[in-house]
Structure formats: C-alpha cells, structure tokens
C-alpha cells in the first residue's frame, strides 16, 4: 500500500538517509577539529600547571571538565542525533560561555579575550532559540572575534603565543558543536516539513490518504500503468446505512467504525495498492496490475472483513468496481466505479458490482 501510515516509514527512511549523508560529508574534518581542540586545550593546562604549581587543582578541574564535557557532548550528539543533541549543545555552550564571561573579570592578562570568547559563545548558544535566525548568523560572525582579538593581543605584551593557541582550540571545539547544532536545526525543520506534508495528504481519522493525497498518487499510478501496459482496476466502497450507526450508537462509535473499516481495507491490500477516504463513509481503492477477476476477489474480501471488524454494529459495505480502459481520465474512471457502487446499493446493498 502506498497509503498511510506507510508515509511515516518513508519519512523516517529519508530522514535517516539525510543524516547519514550529512555525517558522511562533514563528520570527519569536524571530529578531527574537536579532538585537536581538546588535546591542545589539555596540553595547555599541563603547561599552566608546570608554571603555576599552586593552581594545579583548579586548572585541572577547569580544563579537564571542559574537555570531558565536549567529548561527552560529541558522543551524545552521535547517539541522539537531531533535537536532543541540539538542546544539549545549547545548554552546554550556554554554561561554558557564562563561565568564560565570569573568568574575564578575574583574568588580569587576557580579559579582552575571555570576554569576547564568552559573549560570542553566549550568542551562538542561544541564537538558535531566538525566533529571528539573523541573531544566529550574528553569533557565528561573533565567533570570529576571538581569533581577531588574539591577533590584537599578540602585538601587546602579556600572554605568550601558547595562550592564543589554547584559545583557538576552544574555537575549534565550538566549531564542531556549531556543526552539530546546525545539523540538529536543519533536521528539525526537515522533520516538521515532512510531518506537515504527511498531514496535508492523509485523513486525520483513519490515517489513509485524503482526497488531496489521492488525486496526485492515483494519477501517478495511472501513468505507470500506461507506460508498462499493466491493467488497473478502481474500487468505490461505501458503508451501508452508516447514518443509522451514528444515530443509534453516537458519533464516536461511528468514528471507530470508520477507523476499523480503513484498517480492514488496508490489511486486505498489497504494498503497491492505493486507498483513500474521500469523505464521510466513502473509500476508494486503486489496484494496479490486477485483472477484473482478481479485483472482484479483493473487493469481496474487503466487504467481508469490514463487516467482521464491525460485527458489533452489524454494518455492511457496498462496492463498485471499474477496469480502466486505458483512455479515460481518473475522474471518468472514478465516476464509472461510483455508478457501479450505486447499482450495488440499488440491488439491495452488501454486495460488489462490476461496471460494464
């Protein structure tokens, strides 16, 4: 069946494919950047300990904690792609940036550097949460400020070049996380778009295609049948006296009957068949590659299964079927199947009639 809920599975496959493609393209250089950043950052910490032996504890805690946090985040981002990675990244960068901003006040030598790095990271971290994406772009630009500040500081007396390498390594790590964040964002957009498309095409109650989704897919199947010279049969199905079910058992029970009917129809069809609910208690089915005899057998099976599934309310189904003459339009084919269904109603309901 091409009908829902299959589109969800298709969306998931496409989404996974997209992620794999993205990761394959960018993962390696960014991972190398992250590892290099963490190693340099830690090496600089060892140098700091050698110089300021008395500050070994806080230095180890700060540098080790940050490096471990980044690595853990990278691992989690691998494990929980998309949104979870996004929120983790935002939270972590936000925390870290706040720490750097606080350090700026205590750092006699590199306070400009600390302040810029902290502020730019704050913008980058919380930019994605802002309704205006321009802020996110501004944050990315702001990330370029620390290296610029380094160039400026290199010319001034104070920290050595090793300090700047250390800060650059932070920028490298952040670049990796940015990559992950943007990946999470684009995946979230992609999923939302897919979900909206899926909802626009399917019937909210039964999950099968609605009228909008039916038209384009049915035309596609007809195109394929035209090119491959395969036969094609159309079924028009309508529950009998459905109004009485609503009147007797209530609208909620009526809805359940429709859901069970859709399930019974879908379970009878093959992967390549198409089913839609056109509205009310009317369903249409397209059977590509089926002969009229096979289609009659399928329609009979559907009729029995729909009744069995709704035995408690004793509902029956009338169906009409029409074999495509390879010339007529979709509307004309549906009309002929509809007329056959009306004929089935006239003949006493609970039966399937084939159009001439």
Ligand X SMILES: Nc1nc2c(ncn2[C@@H]2O[C@H](COP(=O)(O)OP(=O)(O)OP(=O)(O)O)[C@@H](O)[C@H]2O)c(=O)[nH]1
Q: Is 295 in the site for ligand X (CB under 6 A)?
A: no
Q: Is 119 helix (H, G, I), strand (E, B) or coil?
A: helix
Q: Is 335 in the site for ligand X (CB under 6 A)?
A: no
Tokens of 237: 């199905």
Q: Is 338 in the site for ligand X (CB under 6 A)?
A: no
Q: What pairing do the DSSP bridges indicate for beta strands 274-279 and 232-239?
A: unpaired
Positive or negative: CA dihedral 6, 8, 12, 17:
positive
Q: Which is nearer to ligand X, 158 or 280 (CB)?
A: 280
Stretch that binds ligand X, among 51-59, 215-223, 238-246, 322-330 (CB under 6 A): 238-246
What gap in Å lies between CA 284 and CA 269, rounded to an integer? 12
* Contacting residue, 17, 64, 158, 280, with ligand X by CB under 6 A: 280
What gap in Å lies between CA 10 and CA 75, rounded to an integer? 27
Q: Is 239 in the site for ligand X (CB under 6 A)?
A: yes
* Contacting residue, 38, 153, 173, 258, with ligand X by CB under 6 A: 258
Q: Which is nearer to ligand X, 153 or 237 (CB)?
A: 237
Q: Is 283 in the site for ligand X (CB under 6 A)?
A: no
* Contacting residue, 238, 265, 307, 353, with ligand X by CB under 6 A: 238
CB neighbours (10 Å) of residue 162? 13
Closest CA to 297 of 270, 336, 335, 315: 270
Closest approach, Cβ 247 to ligand X, in A, equals 8
E strands within the chain? 232-239, 274-279, 282-288, 317-323, 352-354
Q: Is 255 in the site for ligand X (CB under 6 A)?
A: yes
Q: Is 254 in the site for ligand X (CB under 6 A)?
A: yes
Closest approach, Cβ 252 to ligand X, in A, equals 7
Give the count of residues interacting with ligand X (CB under 6 A): 15
348: left (phi over 0), alpha (psi -120 to 50) or beta: left
Q: What does the DSSP 8-state code read for residue 209? A: B
Stretch that binds ligand X, among 5-13, 191-199, 235-243, 286-294 (CB under 6 A): 235-243
Tokens of 37: 């950043």
Closest approach, Cβ 355 to ligand X, in A, equals 18
Q: Is 242 in the site for ligand X (CB under 6 A)?
A: yes
Q: Which residues bind ligand X (CB under 6 A)?
A: 205, 238-243, 246, 251, 254-255, 258, 280-281, 345
């Amino acid at each position: 069946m091409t009908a829902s809920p299959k589109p969800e599975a298709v969306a998931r496959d496409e989404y996974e494919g997209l992620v794999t493609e993205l990761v394959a393209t960018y993962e390696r250089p960014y991972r190398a950047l992250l590892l290099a950043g963490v190693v340099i950052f830690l090496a600089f910490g060892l140098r700091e300990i050698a110089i300021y032996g008395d500050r070994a504890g806080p230095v180890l805690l700060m540098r080790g904690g940050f490096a471990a946090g980044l690595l853990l985040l990278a691992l989690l981002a691998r494990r929980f792609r998309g949104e979870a990675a996004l929120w983790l990244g935002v939270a972590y960068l936000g925390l870290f940036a706040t720490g750097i901003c606080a350090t700026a006040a205590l750092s006699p030598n590199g306070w400009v550097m600390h302040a810029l790095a902290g502020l730019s990271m704050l913008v980058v971290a919380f930019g994605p949460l802002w309704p205006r994406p321009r802020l996110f772009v501004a944050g990315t630009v702001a990330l370029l400020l620390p290296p610029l500040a380094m160039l400026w500081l290199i010319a001034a007396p104070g920290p050595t070049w090793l300090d700047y390498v250390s800060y650059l390594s932070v920028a490298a790590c952040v670049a990796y996380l940015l990559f992950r964040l943007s990946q999470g964002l684009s995946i979230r957009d992609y999923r939302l778009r897919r979900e909206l498309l899926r909802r626009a095409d399917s019937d909210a109650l039964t999950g099968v295609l609605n009228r909008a989704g039916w038209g384009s897919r049915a035309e596609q199947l007809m195109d394929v049948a035209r090119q491959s010279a395969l036969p094609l049969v159309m079924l028009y199905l309508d529950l009998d006296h459905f109004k009485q079910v609503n009147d007797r058992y209530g609208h909620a029970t009526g809805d359940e009957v429709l859901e069970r009917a859709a399930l019974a129809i879908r379970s009878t069809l093959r992967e390549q068949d198409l089913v839609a609910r056109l509205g009310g208690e009317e369903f249409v089915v397209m059977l590509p590659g089926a002969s009229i005899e096979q289609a009659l057998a399928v329609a009979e099976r559907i009729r029995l299964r729909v009744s069995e599934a709704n035995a408690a309310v004793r509902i029956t189904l009338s169906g009409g079927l029409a074999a495509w003459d390879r010339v007529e339009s979709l509307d004309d084919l549906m009309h002929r199947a509809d007329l056959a269904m009306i004929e089935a109603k006239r003949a006493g309901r609970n039966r399937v009639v084939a159009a001439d």
